[in-house]
Amino acid sequence: MKEAPPERPSARGLRLAIVRSLFNRPVTDGLLEGARSELAEMGAAAGRVAVFDLPGAFELPLAARAAARSGRFDAVVALGAVIEGETDHYEHVAREAASGLAAVARETGVPVSFGVLTVRQEEQARRRAAPGPGNKGAEAARAAVTTALALRAIAGAGARRSRVRRGRRKGR
C-alpha cells in the first residue's frame, strides 16, 4: 500500500532562512530549488525567505545559529551534500553538521530542518536533489514550516492555560 503524500502546511506570514552549502553545488542548487519551490507552494512570500550561502556543510551550524538567534526568522532550513570519498573526512563533516544543527534547534528553540544529504555516491545525491516529489530540499522546507507551526500552536495552548490559571486564582 502506497503512503499518502504529507499534507502541505501554510507558510503564509512565516519568515524563513535557508542556509546552504556551496560544496557539491550542482546538488545543493537542486536542493535549494526544491526548497524554494515548496515554500512558494506553501504560500511563503519570496521576500520573507532569505538564502545564505556557506562554503561547506561544516559551516552550516554556525550560520543556522546566527539566523536562529537573530530573531528575524521563524525557522531555518539547512541544505548541503556530503558525499563519501576515500578518507574519513565524510564521516566527520556529516556527524558535525548533523549534531551541530540539532544543537542549534535545542539551544535556540527555533526549528532547524536537516536537508543535508549524507550519501555514499554522487548519483544518490543527484537523485535526492532532482525536481519532483523526492527532492530532499522540499522535504526539509516542509519540515521546517510544519515544526514552526507546531511550536506556535504549543506556545499558544500554554498561554491560554496560563491565563485560565491566573483567572482562577483571582476568584474568577
C-alpha grid cell, residue 159: 498561554
Q: Which residue in 12, 25, 69, 89 is the catalytic one? A: 89
Mean pLDDT is lowest, of 36-40, 101-105, 168-172, for 168-172
- What's the predicted TM-score (pTM) here? 0.87
Check if 92 is active-site: no
pLDDT of residue 140 exceeding 80, the answer is yes
Domains and CATH numbers, the chain: 16-169 (3.40.50.960)
Q: What is the pLDDT at residue 3? A: 60
Provide mean pLDDT across the span 29-50: 97
> For 66-114, how does the pLDDT look when each residue is reduced to its tens digit (9 = 90+)?
999 999 999 999 999 999 988 888 899 999 999 999 999 999 999 999 9
Q: What is the pLDDT at residue 163? A: 55
Q: What is the pLDDT at residue 158? A: 62
Which residues are CB-contacts of 160 (< 8 A; sequence separation ≥ 6)?
none
Around Cβ 157, how many Cβ atoms within 10 Å?
A: 10
Q: What is the pLDDT at residue 6? A: 63
State how far the Cα of 75 lies from the Cα of 106, in Å rounded to an integer: 13
DSSP assignment of 8-38 equals: ----TT--EEEEEE-TTHHHHHHHHHHHHHH
Average pLDDT over the chain reads 91
- Nearest alpha-carbon partner for 53 in 28, 90, 85: 28
